[in-house]
Structure 1
Amino acid sequence: MSEEYGIGATAVGIKAKDGVVLAAEKRITYGFYSLSSSGKKVYVVNDRMALASAGVIADMQTIAKILRVNAKMYELESRRKPSIAAMAKLLSVIMFNRRIMPFIAEVLVGGYDEEGPHIFVLDPVGSLIEDDYAALGTGAKMAISILDANYSKDVDVSGARKLAINAIRAALERDPVSGGGIDLVTVTADGVSEEEIKVSAVVG
C-alpha cells in the first residue's frame, strides 16, 4: 500500500518470549520528496500496548488516537485493561468500515497481556493476522529478509531489539525513502519503554 502511494516507510514488529518490540524509521516522504527526518511512526497506546505504522502520517496519528481513546474507555468501563487481541480486532473493524475511503496506513499492533506477548498485522482495509514478526512499508522487503534469517521463537526482548534495529538498518541502507533514525518501543509485563536511536548511529 505504501509503495502504491509513493510513501516511504519501514516498520517492524517482533514477538519475543517475554515481550514485543516495535520499531520504525523516522523519515516522512511523498514519492522521493523528503518532508522531515523527525516523524514518529511508533505510538504508545497504554502501558501494555503500542503500534507501529507505515503510510500517510496524518492517518497513522489518527489511528493511534482512536486506539488510545478506545483502550482508555474500555479500561474506565470495565476497570481492567483490554486484551491486545480485542484492541486489534476493534481496529480491524474500524478500518474495514472505512474501506471505501480507507486510512492509507498499514499497522502493527503489539503488546503484552494476560495471555502473554502478541503481534497483529493489519492492512488498510482491516485484514487481521497474528504473527511472530512482520515488516511493513517500502523497506519491508529488505527488513523481512533480516527477520526471516535471524528470528527464533526463543528470542528475548533484548535480542528482539537488536534484530529490529538490524532489520530497520537494512532498509535504511537500501531504501532511498527510509531514514532519519529509529523509534523503538519495547513492551513487557513490566510496562512500556520508548527510545530513539539517533541518525548518527544508523545509516540514512
Structure 2
Amino acid sequence: MDIQLGIAGKDFVVLLADKQIINSIMTIKHNQDKIYELSKHVAMSVSGEAGDVDTYAEYIVGNAKLYAFRNDHELPIDSCAKFTRRQLAEALRSRSPYQVNILMGGYNPQLEKASLYRIDYLAAISNVPFAAHGYGAFFCYSLFDRLYKEDLTENDAVQILAACISELDKRFVARHSSYTLKVINKAGLRIIDNEEFLKHVKQF
C-alpha cells in the first residue's frame, strides 16, 4: 500500500511518500519518514518490505556520508543514483536481494540542474521528469502526463502532487492520512508541512 511520488523541475525536485508501515491488514506505524537525506542536495524515497527498507536505506545513507567525509565534498545526485542502482543489482544476483523501490532526487550545484531517478527492485534505472511507485502509480501517471510542464514552479509541483493525492482519496480503496514531502533545490533540503499540504489536497 506504499505511495511514492516524485516530480522534478529545472532547479528543484519534490518527493512525496506516505508515513504508514503496513503488514497485511494491520497498520504498524503512522509516522514513518520514508524519505532519507543522503546529503544537503540529495534525498531518496524508499518503499518495500519494512526490514529491507531500513537495512538498505541505512547502508546507502551511510556510504554517501562516508564518501563526503573522506573526500570533503558531497556525492552528486547522478553518482548517488548509479551507486544505489549498482548495489541493488549486485544484491539481486546474490542470495539476499532487496525488495525495495526507490525515487532519488537531488540538485547538482556545479551543473545548476535538478534530477529525479526512478529505480525499481530489479535495479532498472531511469532519469525522469516525474515518477511513482506503488499502487499510487496506477492513478497518478495520467495526472502527471496531463499537468506536467517543463517550466513548472515548486508551487506548481506541489499542486500536481495534491491533485494526485486527491484522486487517490477518491478512487483508491485504502486511504492514507499523512505524508512526508521534501523539496531539494539550490538552498538544500526543505520539508513541507503535512497540514499545509493537505489544505492543497482539499482544494480539488
Q: Which of the five TM-score ranges fits, normalised by the shorter chain?
A: 0.7 to 0.9
Q: 2:164 aligned with 1:171, yes or no? A: no
Q: Within 1, Cα distance between the matches of 2:25 and 2:136?
A: 14
Alignment of 1:99-118 (within 5 A): 99=92, 100-113=95-108, 114-115=110-111, 116-118=113-115
Alignment of 1:7-46 (within 5 A): 8-46=1-39
> Is the helix fraction higher in 1 or 2?
2
Q: Give the C-alpha shift of residue 36 in structure 1.
A: 2.8
Task: Letter of the 2:40 partner, please give it.
Answer: D
Q: 2:47 aligned with 1:50, yes or no? A: no
TM-score, normalised by the number of residues in structure 2: 0.87
Aligned equivalent of 2:121: 124
Contact 1:23–1:165 under 8 Å retained in 2 = no
Q: Give the C-alpha shift of residue 200 in structure 1.
A: 6.7
Uncovered stretches (5+) of structure 1, i.e. residues with no partner: 1-7
Aligned equivalent of 1:158: 155
Aligned equivalent of 2:179: 182
Contact 1:184–1:196 under 8 Å retained in 2 = yes
Distance 1:42 1:20, change over 3 A: same
Q: Within 2, Cα distance between the matches of 1:64 and 1:101?
A: 15
Distance 1:165 1:42, change over 3 A: farther
Q: Within 2, Cα distance between the matches of 1:118 and 1:63?
A: 21
Aligned to 2:151, the other structure's residue is in SS state coil
Q: 2:183 aligned with 1:195, yes or no? A: no
Aligned equivalent of 1:74: 67
Distance 1:41 1:173, change over 3 A: farther
Q: Within 1, Cα distance between the matches of 2:198 and 2:11?
A: 30
TM-score, normalised by the number of residues in structure 1: 0.87
Q: Give the C-alpha shift of residue 67 in structure 1.
A: 2.1
Task: Letter of the 2:74 partner, please give it.
Answer: K
Distance 1:87 1:110, change over 3 A: same
Q: 2:90 aligned with 1:93, yes or no? A: no
Contact 2:45–2:103 under 8 Å retained in 1 = yes
Task: Letter of the 2:79 partner, please give it.
Answer: A
Q: 2:143 aligned with 1:146, yes or no? A: yes
> Which of 132, 135, 157 is 1:135 aligned to?
132
Uncovered stretches (5+) of structure 2, i.e. residues with no partner: none
Contact 1:25–1:168 under 8 Å retained in 2 = no
Contact 2:17–2:180 under 8 Å retained in 1 = yes
Aligned equivalent of 1:4: none
Identity %: 23
What per-residue deviation string (whole Å, max 9, x for no partner) do you get for residues 6-27 of structure 1? Answer: xx11111111122100001222
Q: How many residues align?
A: 196
